[in-house]
Amino acid sequence: MALHGLMLLASLLVLLSCLTETAYGGILLSSLPKTLNVSASPHKPDQVNTPGVLLNFVGNIIAGEDKLGVVWSLNNTNFPVGTDAAYKTVNIKLCYAPVSQVGKPGRKTEDDLDKDKTCQIEFYTGPYNASIKWQYYESTLDRHVPHASYFVRAYVNDSAGVLVAYGQSTGPNKDYNIFVVSGSHKRPKMVSIWFSVFVLFFFVA
Ligand SMILES: *[C@@H]1O[C@H](CO)[C@@H](O)[C@H](O)[C@H]1NC(C)=O
Ligand SMILES: *[C@@H]1O[C@H](CO)[C@@H](O)[C@H](O)[C@H]1NC(C)=O
Ligand SMILES: *[C@@H]1O[C@H](CO)[C@@H](O)[C@H](O)[C@H]1NC(C)=O
Ligand SMILES: *[C@@H]1O[C@H](CO)[C@@H](O)[C@H](O)[C@H]1NC(C)=O
């Protein structure tokens, strides 16, 4: 019985590792050209951002309430116009800054993208449009985003679905333009409502 369970668990683990291994096909981040400028602009819902104009950088935002804007473009100081002609899709993720990786093996950085745990939180996937100079997307941050310090990274695929380039909102040491996402204030409110209901019920009963 126990052996059976163990074997089942083992095959499940093998299956899981296969599933995660196929994701990037062993591509190393260091082998990808860093062709994109990427900026993150965490902001309050009532702040309006204009892509290309220096975005308001609020250092601290609340999951489930505040917004994250991300702008991406070809880094034209280093790469000629047309470098991005074959870019088809862009995938933007939230990535843990070093300060939020300390003591957390589940967030460890690896050059092999199949093993890398830096960027785990999906933010946006959509078409890459080379004819728009500053491509922009913004959205309210999901309330389940863990309380931590982040930067954002954009991965670009070509039409064959092969990862061909990237860019990120900080430098190689990930030590600037880092923003903090803190927990939603809304949940404790819900808890206190339920608590009030409970107390009311208790007294009525
Ligand atoms: C753009 O490319 C230049 C030249 O390689 C580099 O110094 C700069 O850091 C890049 N900018 C961004 C935002 O990655
Ligand atoms: C990309 O970033 C570099 C600085 O690293 C800047 O000189 C250049 O104008 C930026 N390009 C765009 C299209 O914003
Ligand atoms: C790219 O953007 C331009 C300008 O907004 C638009 O006319 C064009 O249809 C877009 N192309 C794609 C493939 O979405
Ligand atoms: C981009 O390519 C990688 C493999 O290179 C794949 O895992 C990922 O799903 C692709 N993303 C999109 C949006 O096509």
Task: Please indicate whether residue 30, judged by its CB atom, sits closer than 6 Å to ligand 3.
Answer: no
Give the per-residue pLDDT at 9: 62
CA 75 to ligand 1: nearest atom = 1
Domains of the chain: 26-47+55-183 (2.60.40.1930)
Residue to probe by mutation, ligand 1, list 37, 39, 77, most atoms within 8 Å of CB? 77
Give the per-residue pLDDT at 20: 45
Give CA torsion, residues 146, 155, 71, 56, to 10 deg: 30
pTM of the full structure: 0.82
> Which ligand does the CA of 126 lie closest to?
4
Contact between residue 168 and residue 72 where contact means Cβ atoms under 8 Å apart? no
Give the per-residue pLDDT at 48: 85
Give the per-residue pLDDT at 103: 97
Give the per-residue pLDDT at 4: 66
Instruction: Show the low-confidence residues of the chain (pLDDT under 70).
Output: 1-22, 54-58, 185-205
Residues with CB under 6 A from ligand 4: 23-25, 89, 91, 125, 157, 161-163
Task: Please indicate whether residue 169, judged by its CB atom, sits closer than 6 Å to ligand 2.
Answer: no
Give the per-residue pLDDT at 25: 85
Ligand 3 mean position, distance from CA 164 (Å) = 21
Contact between residue 125 and residue 157 where contact means Cβ atoms under 8 Å apart? no
Contact between residue 39 and residue 177 where contact means Cβ atoms under 8 Å apart? yes
Give the per-residue pLDDT at 5: 64
